[in-house]
Amino acid sequence: MKALDELTFDNRFARLGDAFSAHVLPEPIDNPRLVVSSPAAMALLDLDPTTAETQEFAELFGGHKLWADAEPRAMVYSGHQFGGYTPQLGDGRGLLLGEVYNEAGEHWDLHLKGAGQTPFSRMGDGRAVLRSSIREFLASEALNALNIPSSRAACVIGSDTPVWREKQERAAMVLRLAPSHIRFGHFEYFYYTKRPEQQKQLGEHVLAMHFPECLEQPEPYLAMFREIVERNAELIAKWQAYGFCHGVMNTDNMSILGITFDFGPFAFLDDFDANFICNHSDDQGRYSFSNQVPIGQWNLSALAQALTPFISVEALRETLGLYLPLFQAHYLDLMRRRLGFTMPEDDDQLLLENLLQLMQNSGVDYTLFFRRLGDQSAELAVAQLRDDFVDIKGFDAWGERYVARVTRDGALDQEQRRARMHAVNPLYILRNYLAQRAIDAAEQGDYSEVRRLHAVLSKPFEEQPGMESYAERPPEWGKHLEISCSS
Ligand code: AMP
Ligand code: MG
């Protein structure tokens, strides 16, 4: 375990130079204090979790202090936002504080979000509000606990600094960790500004740092693109399998590592709804729940376009063609496990589609349905769940097929079946109303609910005595919360 001043920095991205990022110092927030920390994320830096309670910790991640070896930089990138190209974006309110190696030799970027204005702030104030910082923190750590790749969050630091959104709020900072903060939009920026030398420098940096095995291949850039396609297909399969809606899948919010990145108006589904739109400014539903699958491919083609200086168009096209079949294979595999099957059968896709259609028509809770399906034998579970469906006959017909399918799969005793299904079917997910309740308390200065919720979500598959209420469907007030896009 390390003390706060013992981190080992090696700032490789900063050394790429001023064409890639600008040196900016964090602008401190007033009266910084710990809102919540993640011992698991701190462990990635070998940091003693008790240091989170110190004043020094709040000062470091509230922008008051800096390590001598940190080299804070605002990165430049661009990207396609809602289908249109924006020629220059960049870290408008976040800073790459530095790159750290842990004792296991892993590389972690330290990124402080809400650290003040940068040359890329455009009209923005460079700040992040407490509400959105808490949401990013909870979502990062909750996704990770669900085995869904994500950037991590080590802490939220609150403050007295006023910030204006629709009303006056308070500024906060999140310490985000990721092996890389390079986005699809980084490659797009150098492609569209016609700077092949710098684009190559970026590509070589990414290959060496994050895809060293691709350097052994005859065409390293093609191997890297293939890996990015594979990782994103798998990531989006996981989002779809667990009902996660990102909300702003612009190419500047897509990580080259295939991890969930940049949290805004995201949501987990409560009731199953393929057409769910979590972002209230997304009038067309471009980023609706089911559209995440084709949008993943659209975003990868935008990246492919930016990689045309390195890879032939035919090879890019062929590699892009892998996305949908890979997505489908991962998704079906996950859903088979969620349904409790061990062996694949040809009709599984159809069985699943029929179930989702029935759930859609009846507004059935997506998470609890799968959890309850494993609670008891298939026959008993189906008999209990039928009451949740409006089309009872339709569900009964599905239930018969399901029970027959489970029987063909091989008779496990119910204990084994439950253990196997509960290991992939969470009881606790980050429902919007749970986040909102924690935020409301935190805005009044009470951080206990955020901390409790974070603890519950760090073990989503385990029953936690006394925490049953965290598994409940939303109350009336929490069903259709409008999550503000301002953050
Ligand atoms: P986002 O929608 O959060 O991914 O942000 C899109 C772009 O706007 C990024 O370049 C952000 O850095 C920038 N941005 C968002 N909010 C602010 C803010 N309050 N101040 C400065 N830049 C911001
Ligand atoms: Mg963003």
Alpha carbon distance 44, 178 (integer Å): 10
* pLDDT of res. 410: 86
Looking at residue 467, its pLDDT comes to 98
pLDDT at 238: 99
The pTM assigned to this predicted structure is 0.98
Distance (Å, whole) CA 277 – CA 288: 4
Q: Which ligand is nearest to the CA of 171?
A: 1
Scored b (16 or more CB within 10 A) or e, 128-147 reads: bbbbbbbbbbbbbbbbbbbe
- Ligand sitting nearest the alpha carbon of 183: 2
How far is Cα of residue 469 from the mean position of the Cα atoms in its chain? 24
The protein residue whose alpha carbon is closest to atom 13 in ligand 1 is 92
**Quick one: pLDDT at residue 91?**
98
* Site to substitute for ligand 1 among 81, 121, 254, 255, most atoms within 8 A of C-beta: 121
Residue 31's alpha-carbon distances to 64, 132, 157, 440, in angstroms, are 10, 19, 10, 20
Q: Which ligand is nearest to the CA of 77?
A: 1
* Ramachandran bin of 188, using left for φ above 0, alpha for ψ from -120 to 50, beta for the remaining angles: alpha
Ligand 1: atom nearest CA of 262 is 4
Distance from the CA of 215 to the center of ligand 1, in angstroms? Answer: 34
Of 60, 65, 66, 58, the residue nearest 35 (C-alpha): 58
DSSP code per residue over 80-131 = EETTEEES----SSEEEEEEEE-TTS-EEEEEEET----TT-TT--S-EEHH
Query: pLDDT truncated to tens, each residue of the chain (487 aa)?
Result: 999 999 999 999 999 999 999 999 999 999 999 999 999 999 999 999 999 999 999 999 999 999 999 999 999 999 999 999 999 999 999 999 999 999 999 999 999 999 999 999 999 999 999 999 999 999 999 999 999 999 999 999 999 999 999 999 999 999 999 999 999 999 999 999 999 999 999 999 999 999 999 999 999 999 999 999 999 999 999 999 999 999 999 999 999 999 999 999 999 999 999 999 999 999 999 999 999 999 999 999 999 999 999 999 999 999 999 999 999 999 999 999 999 999 999 999 999 999 999 999 999 999 999 999 999 999 999 999 999 999 999 999 999 999 999 999 986 789 999 999 999 999 999 999 999 999 999 999 999 999 999 999 999 999 999 999 999 999 999 998 988 888 9
Among 77, 93, 95, which is best to mutate for testing ligand 1, by the most ligand atoms less than 8 A from CB? 93
Q: Which residue among 252, 262, 273, 409 is the active-site one?
A: 252
Q: How far is the CA of 265 from the centre of ligand 1 (A)?
A: 13
Cα 133 to Cα 128: distance, rounded to the nearest angstrom: 7
Distance (Å, whole) CA 117 – CA 119 = 7
Q: Sketch the domain layout of the chain as residue ranges.
A: 4-184, 341-411
Pick the atom of ligand 1 nearest to 91's CA: 12
Pocket of ligand 1 (CB under 6 A): 89-93, 120-121, 124-127, 248, 253, 262, 264
Q: How far is the CA of 256 from the centre of ligand 1 (A)?
A: 19
State yes or no: is 252 an active-site residue: yes
Where b means 16+ CB within 10 Å and e means fewer, 244-282 reads: bbbbbbbbbbbbbbbbbbbbbbbbbbbbbbeebbbbeeb
Which residues have C-beta within 8 Å of that of residue 67, sequence separation ≥ 6?
Answer: 5, 7, 9, 60, 98
